[in-house]
A and B are shown apart, each in its own frame.
Chain A
Amino acid sequence: MKRNKKFLKLAALFLIAMVLTSGIGAATVSAETPYRTYTVDGNSRMEETQTAYLAHATLIKFGNEFLSAPSDLCVAEDGKLYIADTGNSRIVVGTAEGELLKVIGKGTLKSPRGVFVTENGHIYVADRDAEAVFEFDADGNVLNTYNKPDNPLYGGDRVPFMPIKVVVNDAGIMFIICESNTNGIVEISPAEGGTFLGYFGTNFASTDLQTIIYRAILTDEQRAKMASNIPATPDNLAIDEKGLIYTVTRGDEASTLKRLNIAGINLINGANLQDVYDLSPAAVAVGNHDNVYVASAAGYIYEYNNQGEPIYVFGGRDDGTQRVGLSTQVTSIQVGSNDEIYILDSDKAQIQVYEPSEFTQKLHTALYLYSKGRYTESREPLTEVLKMNSMFDYANRAMGRAYFQEENYDAAVKYAKLSKDKTGYSDAFWEIRNIWLKQNIVAAILIIIFLFIAFKVIKVLDRKKGILNGIRAGTAKIKENKLVSNLLYSGYFMKHPFDGSYGIAREGRASWNAPSIILVIFMVEYVINKYLCGFLQKTVREGKYEIFSDVGTILVVIVGLTACNYLVCTINEGEGTVKKIYTYFCYSLLPYVVLTPVSFVLSHVVTTNEQFLITLVQIIIYAWVIILGILGIKEVNNYTGKETFKVICLTAFTILIVALLIFIIYVLWAQVFEFISAIYGEVVYRLGY
């Protein structure tokens, strides 16, 4: 009876298992995802976008085999999955549907950390504890074992051989990342049972100014305590069909992601790629459309184009809510032939499969065409992409370039501006300006000639009949006004700084109102120039205004400069009063006030080609302002050149000290205030409100 029951139970179990396994193939994609997808716009700002990849299937076991702390995954070209099942010391081979095909290396492997499968089906396993890389054939027989190279260049006894990741190129050369080996990627050729070829793609230790200063002043003992400055070892690597090696290195900032050619040269120009990489990348994979994927240990998945510029970031950390598509400890990322992404999570011991959405598929087509320079062809898929997300930066940029090729310059300018593509904008704008010039050049010349003649005629008439006498008398009267006269004097100061300074010092030209007016005009021009200048010159991002802080900064600088300079001058036998010093500092700003309108107008008409015009004007402005300031200090206080230099240095130092003092006082008071408020709060609480 009891047996019978057991049998029934077994039968039921079997039936349930049947139902379950048959259901696996029909797993549906969930339309909603627990994570968001972001993309980066031209301002390096993240924007939410359409879901790029949808969490599809989750593989927790192959046949009846569970994984234990798996650390690497390799998806072969035929779609088979090879998993370095570290906890069980084996390689598991299965299908994306969860069928178990083979188990390899049981007994041979100790702690397999990395697995790679070549086109001919050979399986390379990096085994950390066995201190070897094994090469298996497709049936699981060991073909070769590569142990620690005995080449002295490897590093001798001090450098252990603990392989954790491996990739192999077409020639069978292995690129191996080893634990505790900071020299770089170990490159071993299969010749003669393993020949050490050298270190590949070595990272450089970064040295900043602070470290250099510290090193110079610290004792040996202190220096030894400093964090060691050895270069970071790459955390993971991948290889593409051309044999280029991709590496990710944590904490390497702009060169976190590298694309290395066979000579070990990084092909990604990291100059503009600050803050687009994860701080702890765990794995990298090469996509099918000239794109690269990076997964961070925390579960964020990034897609980059071949220039290392970000396209998407999605996914996220599972904080214990156990939602599909979030990860806890990612150790590997792979891309299948249909752009599906496989994420191996060692903590959850599972593989999460993501499928590209319609949107991503279109985008991939478009960006691929675009990267190959087939702009016009790419316009149709781009239009589709932009329909689905009109703010998608890459699509906008590509669209701008496509329109440029079609000579639709107005549209090109519009899209270039949307995507902050300055080169594209400049090219298209040049064309537009060119067309405008062609059409209007005759009219423009005629207007100039007409104005010139009119000017001459008026001048002649004035000489003969004095038609401008009335106006002249009026202006003369206005000039008598003290304020106006002081304002005009600033122009004199600008042109004749020595005489001008004398006037401020001795002839009562120092005042409060005239310099203040110039300061206000300066502020207004500064703000207008900053926010409304031409697109190519703009340094601040569209739609963001910080006018209060701009004006505040200018005020603080002027007031601080005047005050500190006054303090230093009084103890250095200078003749300047606060009013005089304020006057010459404000008057010194006049070149900016006079010339900025020129650069402002220029900024709206020049392209990158004529950029030097604006740069020239700006250099003139800055040089002039600085010279006026220095001469003002010298002449008004009646200093010699040497004294002037000393006073300027002292003023700079005083400003520094004052800033520090204010900071310290602020910190102290904040602490005291907080202490008192905490006591008050506690007392009130103890007394029961």
Chain B
Amino acid sequence: MSAPSGGGASRDGYGAALLEMLDDDKVVVLEADLGKSTKSCLFRAEKPSHTVSLGIAEQNMMLVAAGMATSGYVPFASTFAIFSERGFEQVRNGIARPNIVVHLCGSHGGIHTGTDGSSAQSIEDLAIYRTLPNMAVIHPSDDISAKELTLQLRDYPSPSYMRTARNKVPRSYSESTANQLKIGKGFTHRKGSDVAIIACGVLLNEALEASEELRTQGIHATVVDMHTIKPLDESLLDQIIESCGAIVTAEDHSVIGGLGSAVAEYVVSKSPIPIEMIGVQDRFGESGGSDELLELLGLKSTNIIQAAKRVIERK
């Protein structure tokens, strides 16, 4: 295991949040045989009456969740990010289109998932769910922020897709900073005026490392955790356009359609500034340790540093 021994995995935060909702009898949890992995098993152990096992059948799970939601319940359904895609059309037609409030969690997203190999490494989930009207798309960076954002979903008025990650990363939040998180609002970890690094998921940690190194070289970077890819925090982007004038996006996801695309779509329509995108370059992953894969696919802090220098040159 190449993940750090400390820190937290965002999937653990999802499980912890479900446990905090045990006293709410309107919360129901749905599983498709991967509760031990997505961490919904923690809820099941405490409240089996409100946990529904659907077996290895993701398409069915999506619509069972929708049926429960229209009957007054708040379903949290989870599977691997990649297998949620098997039910994409069910999410599209059965959840997003009628705007039924189901909260779908896809764990083990991204190449950071590691040794299982490319069949398990969803690098397109953020892109596809982002295309659906009514859907919020969220990708927290660590367990503490994942817990907070999951708790906020209980009262969120539209369906959502949250991607969590399998492996631990150093925490970027404490309990007190997590309290300042809000779905739809990016969180600014560092402020600088030379470049803005906008990251999500496990790459937030790489972005923070990159900003430290850049600072020693006299380059001052803003670092934003854009944990909500949709709805995108456009007012924060307006400020970044004004104050930084250059952006690097960083995500454990294809550069096609994810956070980088979402930021670029807004920026070019508003006030174009140079953007560099760190992400998976239109290829599939392979088996390997998390850090090995981040390195192989150019998703490390060193890659972010190089991109920051390139984008500053383009200002």
A, B: real partners: no
User: Interface residues, chain B, CB within 8 Å of chain A?
Assistant: none
User: Interface residues, chain A, CB within 8 Å of chain B?
Assistant: none
